[in-house]
Structures are given as structure tokens and as C-alpha cells.
């Protein structure tokens, strides 16, 4: 029954590709709203790799003696590009061909989830879905990268999210000189594909993202001396844990991260969490809290890390994803959250510029004031000096 549903959604997307209207060029991307583009064109492509250190069983019994059993990985990358004139439609983030048989499971699974998610966003209306899939993005597929090295931002989506989430933020950051990359949520294998908010799922995603980091450091347009991680919801748990185990990471962004919302989460109780290992700048962007003392268990423990805690007025959890601008484009009610979405993007850019472009002069108090000027309620919590913990 699931395969039949997936085939129906695949047919819908193929039909969209064939009958959709031509995309306009040389104008602000329709989903960006009031966001201001940077000086760079934006490129997008997939990197396909096998993680030979982990297995991807094609059946529960692993009864095949031939074929791939290594974990297939797809890394989606947005990057500053040479000028291009043919931005891709949104469907390019969803519809793709596996480069070889080794990646067919991965493409099947992620496409099924992504198509289901977008169809739900469009309220199961095929006309709205067609409109959304054909909307022009800011990114040109496989455009030549600009001839410099740029800071890298690794992104982890929220619990069981579609893979191409926060694409608007990724495009926006790439236009301002950052490489942004993410990986789908896979979990152990073909017959156990179900990302949960639990220790095992978070650890799987953490390892996948670290594998992506290793691949991306060899790309000629990536500056591996300037790396940040950014996560939404449960993805915030993933990136906070990742930075503890990897010394290449210089900054952390939590987009309504679970560790800033709930004292019972996959960080505070994780055997892999140790606040002692966190000493880099952290931005906690979140919706307004009525009693933050209940939720700041992790934030308060991160005493060695300079923290910026910023609440976005009027935001809800969905404000930190692509949903508000996509709903606005479809003429659906957004509750005004597209304004919060733009504030979140600008605040994220300001933090990344402060921590990656000139890290030696990072000033938390100055940055907090800048975020306040953007309309956020922000405060700087400096690191506790050694010996005064």
C-alpha cells in the first residue's frame, strides 16, 4: 500500500514537470519575501557517497550475497556560484535520479517522504502542489562554484522532516557567501527507515552529518577552517552533540532547538553530552518562552560557551522552517509567521558573519544589540572564565 501511494505521488510530480509553466528569471525568488540577496549567485548540487564504515541492509535477513551493503549518503549542497541565468524550480530538490543502483533505496525513501510532506503542505490540492513544485528557487543546478573558498554551514532538519527543508535559508546564506549542506534522515536501513526523537536516531543523524563534513572538507570551494553547524528542532540536538566531537566546528545555531525548549530531551540525558566540551559561540534562536527557567537546563550548563539567546516575537515552531513563506506563496494562512521567518534568517546571517568571518573580534554584547535592532529579544550570556565555574 505504501509503495502504491509513493507511485501516485511520483506520477503527480512527473506530471508537474511536464505541464508546469516556464519559470521567470532575473527577479527576486518568489519564496524569499522581504529577504535581501547577497552579492553571489547560488548553485546547488547533490554529492553521492558511500560510507563504507556502516552497513545498509537491503533486507531484514541480509540474505543477499551480492550488491551494495554500505550506507548510501546524499549530501545536498548550496554554494556561492558563478553568475547563472536559469534557477531551478522547487521540484529539483525533490525529484532526482539515483546515480547508480547503490543509491536507489535512498532515492526511493527520501522521495516518498518529501513528496508526502509537500503534498500535505499544499493541503492535498494537486493545483497548489503543482504551483509549489514549479516555483522558482534562487539556485541553479550544478552551476560552477565561485573561485574562492567559503565558510561551511552544516544543517540538520527537525524530527522526521522532509530533506529539502529550510531551503530558503540555505539559498539566502549561500548568496551571502556561505556553503550550506544537509543530509536526509535515514536511520539504520531500508526496512528501519523511521527517524524518531531518541538517542539512536539522533546518533545516526550525527554520524551522517559528520560523514558529510569529512566529504565537504575536500571540496575546492569549502574553507574547512571556518565551519558552523545549524539545526532545527531535534536537528538542534544533532548539531550540539556533533560540535562536541569535532574540533573543526567553530559555532552552533539552534533554530528552536529541542534543547532550548524542553528539559527532557535527547541532549540533557544523552551519554554523549558533556557541557565541558562546549566552548564555542552558540546562538539559541527560539519562539517566546513564558517560563524559560523550565527550559534552560542545557543552556545553563554550557558555561564555557559564549551564548546568545534570542526569542523571535510572534514565532511558533513552524516559523523556523520553510512553511510560512511557502504557505504565503500558495495563498494559505500563515498567521503572520513569514515576518518571523525573515527575522530568523537575518539573525542567523548576522551570527554566522560574526563568528566565521572575523572570529577573533566576536563580541556577544554587540551581536545581541544587533539582533535587538532586528526586532528580537536577545541577550548575551558570556562564557564563565576558567576557575570561576
Hunting for cell 540525558 — which residue is that? 269
Tell me the C-alpha distance between 95 and 110, whole Å: 10
Is there a domain that residue 387 lies in? no
Is there a domain that residue 386 lies in? no
Cα separations (Å) of 287 from 116, 292, 312?
Answer: 27, 11, 5
Q: 335-367: per-residue pLDDT in tens?
A: 889 999 999 999 999 999 999 998 888 999 999
Query: What backbone phi and psi angles, to 5 degrees, belong to 197?
Result: -90, 80
Which of the four pLDDT bands, split at 50, 70 and 90, describes residue 46?
A: very high
Q: 118-149: per-residue pLDDT in tens?
A: 999 999 999 999 999 999 999 999 999 999 99
Is there a domain that residue 152 lies in? yes
Cα separations (Å) of 261 from 190, 302, 315, 317, 372?
Answer: 32, 15, 13, 10, 21
pLDDT at 17: 38
Per residue in 295-311, is it b (16+ CB within 10 Å) or e — as a string? bbbbbebbbbbbbbbbb
Report the 10 Å Cβ neighbour count for 381: 19
What is the total count of domains within the chain?
A: 1
In sign, the C-alpha dihedral spanning 270, 272, 275, 276 is positive
CATH number of the domain residue 258 falls in: 3.40.50.1820
Range of the domain at 281: 2-381
Hunting for cell 532586528 — which residue is that? 374
In sign, the C-alpha dihedral spanning 200, 204, 209, 210 is positive
Is there a domain that residue 363 lies in? yes
Comparing 264 with 43, the larger pLDDT belongs to 43
> How many alpha carbons fall within 13 Å on the CB side of residue 213?
27
> How many alpha carbons fall within 13 Å on the CB side of residue 375?
13
Does position 194 have pLDDT exceeding 50, yes or no?
yes
Is there a domain that residue 389 lies in? no
Tell me the C-alpha distance between 378 and 310, whole Å: 4
Is there a domain that residue 161 lies in? yes
Does position 66 have pLDDT exceeding 50, yes or no?
yes
Is there a domain that residue 27 lies in? yes
Q: DSSP 3-state assignment of 281? A: coil
Hunting for cell 567559503 — which residue is that? 150
Total-model pTM: 0.90
Does position 281 have pLDDT exceeding 50, yes or no?
yes
Q: Where are the alpha helices (DSSP H) in the chain?
A: 2-19, 104-121, 126-134, 167-175, 199-216, 234-245, 297-301, 323-329, 337-352, 364-373
Beta bridge partner(s), residue 151: 223
Beta bridge partner(s), residue 71: 51
Does position 265 have pLDDT exceeding 80, yes or no?
no
Average pLDDT score, the chain: 87
Tell me the C-alpha distance between 10 and 351, whole Å: 39
Is there a domain that residue 100 lies in? yes
Comparing 334 with 25, the larger pLDDT belongs to 334
DSSP state of 354: I
In sign, the C-alpha dihedral spanning 343, 345, 350, 352 is positive
Helices 2-19 and 126-134: crossing angle, nearest 10°? Answer: 60
CB 375 within 8 A of CB 314: no
Amino acid at each position: 500500500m505504501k509503495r502504491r501511494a509513493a507511485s501516485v505521488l511520483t506520477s503527480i510530480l512527473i506530471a508537474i514537470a511536464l505541464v508546469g509553466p516556464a519559470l521567470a528569471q532575473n527577479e527576486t525568488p518568489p519564496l524569499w519575501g522581504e529577504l535581501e540577496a547577497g552579492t553571489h549567485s547560488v548553485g546547488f548540487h547533490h554529492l553521492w557517497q558511500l560510507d563504507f564504515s556502516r552497513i545498509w541492509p537491503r533486507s531484514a535477513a541480509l540474505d543477499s550475497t551480492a550488491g551494495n551493503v554500505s550506507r548510501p549518503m546524499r549530501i545536498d549542497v548550496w554554494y556561492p556560484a558563478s553568475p547563472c541565468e536559469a534557477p531551478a524550480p522547487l521540484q529539483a530538490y525533490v525529484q532526482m535520479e539515483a546515480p547508480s543502483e547503490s543509491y536507489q533505496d535512498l532515492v526511493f525513501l527520501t522521495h516518498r517522504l518529501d513528496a508526502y510532506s509537500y503534498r500535505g503542505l499544499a493541503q492535498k490540492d494537486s493545483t497548489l502542489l503543482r504551483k509549489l513544485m514549479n516555483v522558482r528557487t534562487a539556485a541553479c543546478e550544478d552551476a560552477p562554484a565561485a573561485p574562492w573558498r567559503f565558510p561551511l554551514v552544516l544543517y540538520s532538519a527537525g524530527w522526521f522532516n522532509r530533506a529539502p527543508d529550510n531551503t530558503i535559508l540555505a539559498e539566502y546564506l549561500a548568496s551571502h557567501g556561505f556553503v550550506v549542506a544537509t543530509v536526509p534522515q535515514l536511520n539504520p536501513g531500508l526496512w528501519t527507515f523511521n527517524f524518531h526523537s531518541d538517542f539512536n536516531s539522533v546518533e545516526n543523524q550525527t554520524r551522517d552529518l559528520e560523514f558529510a563534513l569529512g566529504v565537504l572538507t575536500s571540496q575546492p570551494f569549502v574553507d574547512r577552517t571556518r565551519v558552523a553547524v545549524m539545526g532545527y528542532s531535534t536537528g538542534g540536538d544533532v548539531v550540539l552533540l556533533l560540535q562536541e566531537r569535532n574540533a573543526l566546528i567553530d559555532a552552533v545555531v539552534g533554530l528552536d532547538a529541542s534543547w532550548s525548549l524542553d528539559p527532557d530531551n535527547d541532549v540533557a540525558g544523552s551519554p554523549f553530552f558533556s557541557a565541558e566540551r562546549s566552548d564555542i559561540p552558540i546562538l539559541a534562536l527560539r519562539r517566546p518562552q513564558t517560563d524559560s527557567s523550565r527550559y534552560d537546563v542545557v543552556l545553563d550548563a554550557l558555561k564555557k560557551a559564549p551564548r546568545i539567546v534570542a526569542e523571535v516575537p510572534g514565532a511558533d515552531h513552524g516559523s523556523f522552517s520553510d512553511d510560512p513563506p511557502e504557505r504565503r506563496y500558495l495563498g494559505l494562512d500563515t498567521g503572520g509567521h513569514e515576518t518571523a521567518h525573515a527575522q530568523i534568517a537575518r539573525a542567523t546571517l548576522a551570527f554566522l558573519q560574526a563568528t566565521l568571518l572575523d572570529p577573533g573580534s566576536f563580541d556577544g554584547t554587540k551581536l545581541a544589540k544587533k539582533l535587538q535592532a532586528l526586532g528580537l529579544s536577545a541577550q548575551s550570556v558570556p562564557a564563565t572564565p576558567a576557575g570561576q565555574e
